[in-house]
Structure 1
Amino acid sequence: MDTVFILTFLLPVILATTGFNPTQHHDYEAMEAVMNNVHEKCNKITHLYELPTGTFEDIPSTTVNGRKLKVLVFGKHPTEHTNGIPEFKYIGNMHGNEVTGKELLLRLMTYMCDVYLGETTEIEGNFDMKHIKDLIDNTRIHILPSMNPDGWQIASESVDNYQNGVLGSDKWTVGRANANGKDLNRNFPDLDNLYYNLEAKPGHRNNHLDRVRQVLKNLSSELEPETKMIMSWLHSIPFVASANMHNGDLVANYPFDKTRDGSSHSPAKCPDNSTEMAEAYSLQHADMAKPHKPCDTNDFSKTEGTTNGAAWYSVPGASELPKIWEQNINSLFSFMYQAHIGIKGEIQLPEGIRPGSAIAAIRVQKVGEPKPIDHDILSTESGDYYRLLENGLYNVNATIHFMDRNDNEQKIVRSKCVQVDNQLYSKSAQVVNFDFTQLDEPYIDESCKNEYQDSYDEDQLRQYYDLMWFLRNYAAPRNTYDSKYNVY
């Protein structure tokens, strides 16, 4: 499961237009036109598709009012996942009246296409043509400009409520929700709370979302069409890093977003050090990390333009119309490059065992720390993995569970000592492969063994790496039913 950041900006006026104009806002039809035009112009490096993705049943294909959620992908291999190339996504306009993100992403896709083709008259920002082309060639970048086009329409039809470019103080929520009046940002399963309930238990799961089919079944009446489409998306593409763009203030908000003690403001950081990733955006922004007029009582410049979600709350936006593109262009590219920090590699399996039938769980412990980082990641169905890490020396363990030909459960562990030295704006993370071709030969690298060595207790492993449902839900063909594990 990738780490999702929330980026917020000042709130400008909503204006509709029929073509791409960097100074105005686009309605649904104009947004479609921009995406279609970019795809046609850069058809070799882009792919245009609609949500939902995957093979999950009973997922809506339109919003409440019949609109599509459309995604434009950039990449050297835009139509499919390719081993060694991380998946990244930007989402805008989750709240219909928070429109800055959508326009920023439309301009971003237009600019990326022009730069790649060499058709720009002038390179903007600090990232030159080589950096941008390298990023596109080595990353699969998914851009969803509007997650809530119905809400945008509702907001735009209330334009008379805007005063001097912003909504009136009593009208700022118009169009925030979807057409059913549901706040999509509050409509997803509470995974923060799920993790908090699990983290104190020995051998708890920490490396995937809950069973998507069970979640959809249990919450079917509570989840909105847009929410279900996004959930299917998250479960069908192995995203490495993501950001969701909002309005409200200038800050890069990193997880978790819910306090552990139920209080209104109390930091609740996730196991990974997400502060550095948030700073990859905020420190490249023109104003985010600098003293500026806040939209509420918080001055985020004191924390380098970042905040922990559980320590912050959101309020209405401001009245001025910022130069959004100039402020954010460096940040947008800087953050995409974060998909290439840490390590990546392939899980090498014996002949006859396809990658999807033996998913590896990657556990990481920084040398000098008493315990592993409480966030394992899983290899993809094609056998590659991506682990975002800050600089340092790590003990990295890869574990596979699979059923052998005699229907016996097998587990194999491989260990490596890895020095991570991230290079600024590198197009590739350090490659660390794990060789399982000789399953009967144990391999443990003890060159950076900590005082604490994970014992891989049998009972804990069976609970901790409960992957068989995942193999069949995510990696194996989804049209077969396995009665033994009661999953498809």
Structure 2
Amino acid sequence: MELPFSLLLLFLSFSTCLHLSHARGGQRSSLPSGFENGGYAGSTRHLFKESRSHIGNDVARGYMTNSDLEKAVKAFGRRCSNISRIYSIGKSVNGIPLWVIEISDKPGEQEAEPAFKYIGNVHGDEPAASIVENVHLHILPSMNPDGFSLRRRGNANNVDLNRDFPDQFFPLNDDVDMRQPETRAIMNWLRDIHFTASASLHGGALVANYPWDGTEDKRTNYFGCPDDETFRFMASIYSHSHYNMSSSKEFQGGITNGASWYPIYGGMQDWNYIHGGCFELTLEISDNKWPSANELPTLWEYNKMSMLNLVASLLKTGVHGRIFSSDTGRPVLGSITVKGINHTVKAGRTFADYHRLLAPGGRYEVMATVPGYKSRSTGIWLEEAAMTLDFVLDPEVTLKGFLCFLFRRRIKNNNLSKHRQLVGPKRPVVVSNA
């Protein structure tokens, strides 16, 4: 069963809550500068360093039923109500709610910040302050509660949920209504929230897996996605922050390309990247799919820094910013592309904020594109720290751009007219020489 990994996500929730209380007292920390991270040595020094945590007695030390898990999620919501929100993204085949914990300094509010999601219990038979203040962290402890109850890999319909997503090579049916309810819930969730990155927790191996998960010819070969270097960097963040994942004898550096390991189709990881612009890893965090209950605290200690550092990497690496219009000064919806990388990241709908993950230590040409505006590109050298890069775009002097300008002007005039009707005509300013 994957329920042990559901418990790790609860441990992460409580740990983040505890980290917040410490950090509010002014404590900040980072990894030692000598921390080795394979090809990205030193890149994690801006992240969290190891600290011994003691999970309180109110956090489960053994296995939970679905009912126990729901109670624990709601108890966390009550305990940390100032930084959390509990909500459901849907129900399983048997009607069990798929509860999510959102952790943020402003839970439930839209902000110009990246969003990260952790997903546990995908398969039923495989049982801190800077984050809170600058990231919206969403935790789904159990995606497949029915499979856990039935002690099997698939859901109540015996469907493997990690083979149920639309696939780029074999799209049998892209209709969301044809998917399992748990799959539909994930797909709708990604459409509702603009996630930057994600990770799902699995058991049966010890490795951080990254796209692509399949190949067009179904052969077992390395097949990297357009952001292969960035994904390898993210996977290395997890493996080198882990107690012993990076020392794996089977997987060099504790990471693997999915298609190079064994191809799968209809997986959640590739679908996230293609359809949501969300950088997702598949984390195999235990060779034993069903570790004993007394092993869970050790499993947590081995993985806690990896889980925190993976989220923290959203803040410490990559390019972040917003897109504005030069004529109005307002944010405008657009997209970000990087020369040489065939992948588009869309800006957020409310603030036009973008969060483009990129491996550090390289030169990139970043371009912002908005319909009706002149695109603008900027060359950057991305150091080991994150970069803020806002774009201000000029309207195009074309028929399309002119029509967009007239449309925006009309809306502005209508709003001004409504305002004048409410406050009355503007009184003239009289200048007296007396």
Range class of TM-score, shorter chain: 0.5 to 0.7
Q: How many Å apart are 1:220 and its aligned residue? A: 2.6
Q: How many Å apart are 1:411 and its aligned residue? A: 4.3
Unaligned 5+ runs, structure 2: 8-56, 265-283, 401-434
Q: Residue 150 of structure 1 corresponds to which residue in structure 2?
A: 146
Structure 1: distance between partners of 2:146 and 2:289: 23
Structure 2: distance between partners of 1:49 and 1:64: 18
Conserved 8 A contact 1:10-1:317: no
Change in 2 beyond 3 A, CA 1:361/1:320: closer
Alignment partner of 1:376: what SS?
strand
Q: How many Å apart are 1:320 and its aligned residue? A: 5.5
Q: Residue 94 of structure 1 corresponds to which residue in structure 2?
A: 122
Q: How many Å apart are 1:33 and its aligned residue? A: 1.2
Please state if 1:69 is matched with 2:45. Answer: no
CA deviation string 1:302-349 (max 9, x = no partner): x10011111113998467545211110111111111222211111112
Q: Residue 132 of structure 2 corresponds to which residue in structure 1?
A: 136
- The higher relative CO (CA closer than 8 Å, separation ≥ 6) is in 1
Q: Residue 414 of structure 2 corresponds to which residue in structure 1?
A: none
Q: How do residues 286-305 of structure 1 correspond to structure 2 at under 5 angstroms?
A: 286-291=243-248, 299-300=250-251, 303-305=252-254
Structure 2: distance between partners of 1:11 and 1:430: 34
CA deviation string 1:397-427 (max 9, x = no partner): 11111xxxxxxxx34201112221123xxxx
The letter for the 2-side match of 1:283 is H
Q: Residue 467 of structure 1 corresponds to which residue in structure 2?
A: none
Q: Residue 245 of structure 1 corresponds to which residue in structure 2?
A: 201
TM-score by length of 2: 0.67
Change in 2 beyond 3 A, CA 1:9/1:144: closer
Conserved 8 A contact 1:91-1:245: yes
Q: Residue 215 of structure 1 corresponds to which residue in structure 2?
A: 174
Please state if 1:80 is matched with 2:50. Answer: no
**Structure of larger gyration radius:** 2
CA deviation string 1:367-406 (max 9, x = no partner): xxxxx211121111121111001122211111111xxxxx
Conserved 8 A contact 1:8-1:250: no
Structure 1: distance between partners of 2:4 and 2:257: 16
CA deviation string 1:88-107 (max 9, x = no partner): 000000111212xxxxxxxx
Q: How many Å apart are 1:192 and its aligned residue? A: 5.6
Structure 2: distance between partners of 1:270 and 1:336: 21
Higher helix proportion (structure 1 or 2) = 2
Q: How many Å apart are 1:177 and its aligned residue? A: 0.4
CA deviation string 1:55-105 (max 9, x = no partner): xxxxxx42111111110010111112201x110000000111212xxxxxx
Q: Residue 357 of structure 2 corresponds to which residue in structure 1?
A: 388
414-423 vs 313-322, which deviates more? 313-322
Q: Of 342, 355, 366, which aligns to 2:318?
A: 342
Please state if 1:439 is matched with 2:414. Answer: no
Please state if 1:415 is matched with 2:370. Answer: no
Change in 2 beyond 3 A, CA 1:25/1:320: closer
CA RMSD of aligned residues (A): 2.9
Change in 2 beyond 3 A, CA 1:143/1:349: same
Q: Residue 176 of structure 1 corresponds to which residue in structure 2?
A: 153
Conserved 8 A contact 1:259-1:311: no
Task: Give the number of aligned pairs.
Answer: 317
Q: Residue 49 of structure 1 corresponds to which residue in structure 2?
A: 87
Conserved 8 A contact 2:126-2:289: no
The letter for the 1-side match of 2:345 is I
Conserved 8 A contact 2:320-2:388: yes
Q: Of 187, 191, 197, which aligns to 2:168?
A: 191
Conserved 8 A contact 2:124-2:155: yes
Q: Residue 449 of structure 1 corresponds to which residue in structure 2?
A: none
Q: Residue 268 of structure 1 corresponds to which residue in structure 2?
A: 223
TM-score by length of 1: 0.60
Unaligned 5+ runs, structure 1: 1-6, 13-18, 52-60, 100-131, 156-174, 195-213, 293-298, 366-371, 402-409, 424-428, 443-461, 463-488
Please state if 1:278 is matched with 2:235. Answer: yes
Q: How many Å apart are 1:23 and its aligned residue? A: 2.7
The letter for the 1-side match of 2:365 is N
Q: Residue 204 of structure 1 corresponds to which residue in structure 2?
A: none
Structure 2: distance between partners of 1:49 and 1:248: 30
Change in 2 beyond 3 A, CA 1:86/1:192: farther
Alignment partner of 1:397: what SS?
strand
Q: How many Å apart are 1:353 and its aligned residue? A: 9.2
The letter for the 2-side match of 1:143 is I
The letter for the 1-side match of 2:337 is R
CA deviation string 1:276-302 (max 9, x = no partner): 11010011111211246xxxxxx12xx
Alignment partner of 1:250: what SS?
strand
Q: How many Å apart are 1:29 and its aligned residue? A: 1.2
Q: How many Å apart are 1:21 and its aligned residue? A: 4.7
Q: How many Å apart are 1:191 and its aligned residue? A: 3.3
